[in-house]
Amino acid sequence: MPRINNETDLEYKRRVIDIKSDSFCGAKWYNATIWLGSGQTTSCHHPLPHAIDAEEIKHNPKALHNTQKKKMEREQMQKGERPSGCEYCWKIEDIGRENISDRVYKTVIYTDKDLETAYAKPASNDVDLRTLEIAFDRTCNFGCSYCNPAFSSTWVKDIDTNGPFTGLTSDGRNHFTHSHGSSQLYKFGEYNPYVEAFFKWWETDLHRSLLELRLTGGEPLMSGDTWKLLEWFKNNDNRVNPDMRFAMNSNLGAKDDLIDRLIEASHSLKHFHLYTSNESMSQQSEYIRDGLVWDTWANNVEKVLTNGRIEGFHMMCTINALCLDSLDSFLDCCLNWKREYGKDFPTFSLNILRFPSFQSPLVLPDDIRNTYKLKLQAWFNANKNDPMLHQFELNQLQRLIDYLDVVKTPHMGAAEQSVLQQDFKKFFTQYDQRRGKNFIETFPSLVEWYNSI
Ligand code: SF4
β-strand partners of 215? 134, 248
Ligand 1 centroid vs 134 CA: distance in angstroms?
18
- Of all protein residues, the one whose alpha carbon is nearest to atom 6 of ligand 1 is 103
Q: For residue 335, which of 325, 343, 323 has the smallest C-alpha distance?
A: 343
- Four-CA torsion 323, 326, 331, 332, nearest 10 degrees: -170
Among 9, 23, 28, 44, the mutation site with the greatest number of ligand 1 atoms within 8 A of its Cβ is 44
Q: What type of residue is 208?
A: R
- CB distance 106 to ligand 1 below 6 Å: yes
Ligand 1 centroid vs 70 CA: distance in angstroms?
11
Query: Which residues touch 410 (CB under 8 Å, ≥6 apart)?
Result: 357, 360, 362, 416, 417, 420
Q: What type of residue is 274?
A: L
Helix axes 366-383, 391-406, angle to 10 degrees: 160
- CB distance 47 to ligand 1 below 6 Å: yes
Alpha-carbon distances of 406 from 18, 43, 92, 238, 369, rounded to whole Å = 36, 33, 22, 53, 11
Ligand 1 centroid vs 90 CA: distance in angstroms?
9
Ligand 1 centroid vs 55 CA: distance in angstroms?
27
Low-confidence residues of the chain, pLDDT below 70?
A: 1, 97, 172, 408-415
Alpha-carbon distances of 248 from 229, 231, 284, 373, rounded to whole Å = 12, 15, 25, 32
- CB distance 74 to ligand 1 below 6 Å: no
- How far apart CA 77 and CA 119 sit, in angstroms, is 9
Neighbours of 6 (CB within 10 A): 6
Q: For residue 322, which of 399, 432, 158 has the smallest C-alpha distance?
A: 432
- CB distance 25 to ligand 1 below 6 Å: yes
- CB distance 86 to ligand 1 below 6 Å: yes
- CB distance 44 to ligand 1 below 6 Å: yes
Atom of ligand 1 nearest to the CA of 89: 2
β-strand partners of 40? 35, 51
Ligand 1 centroid vs 103 CA: distance in angstroms?
5
Among 65, 106, 131, the mutation site with the greatest number of ligand 1 atoms within 8 A of its Cβ is 106
Neighbours of 212 (CB within 10 A): 18
Ligand 1 centroid vs 29 CA: distance in angstroms?
11
Q: What is the pLDDT of residue 95?
A: 84
Q: For residue 135, which of 64, 234, 69, 78 has the smallest C-alpha distance?
A: 64
Which segments of 275-390 does DSSP mark as H helices, in order?
282-288, 294-307, 327-341, 366-383
Sheet with strand 272-277: strands edge to edge: 50-51, 40-42, 31-35, 131-135, 212-216, 245-249, 272-277, 312-319, 347-352
Residue 272 Cα to chain centre, angstroms? 17
Q: For residue 266, which of 212, 207, 313, 222 has the smallest C-alpha distance?
A: 313
For 82, counting Cβ atoms within 10 Å of its Cβ (0-12 exposed, 13-18 middle, 19+ buried), the class is middle
Among 23, 24, 28, the mutation site with the greatest number of ligand 1 atoms within 8 A of its Cβ is 28
In angstroms and rounded to an integer, the radius of gyration of the C-alpha atoms of the chain is: 23
- Of all protein residues, the one whose alpha carbon is nearest to atom 8 of ligand 1 is 44
Among 33, 102, 119, 129, the mutation site with the greatest number of ligand 1 atoms within 8 A of its Cβ is 102
- How far apart CA 150 and CA 140 sit, in angstroms, is 11
For the chain, counts of helices (H) and of strands (E): 20, 9
Q: What is the pLDDT of residue 111?
A: 96
Q: How many CA atoms lie within 13 A of 229 on its CB side?
A: 28
- How far apart CA 319 and CA 321 sit, in angstroms, is 7
Residue 388, φ and ψ in degrees, nearest 5:
-80, -10
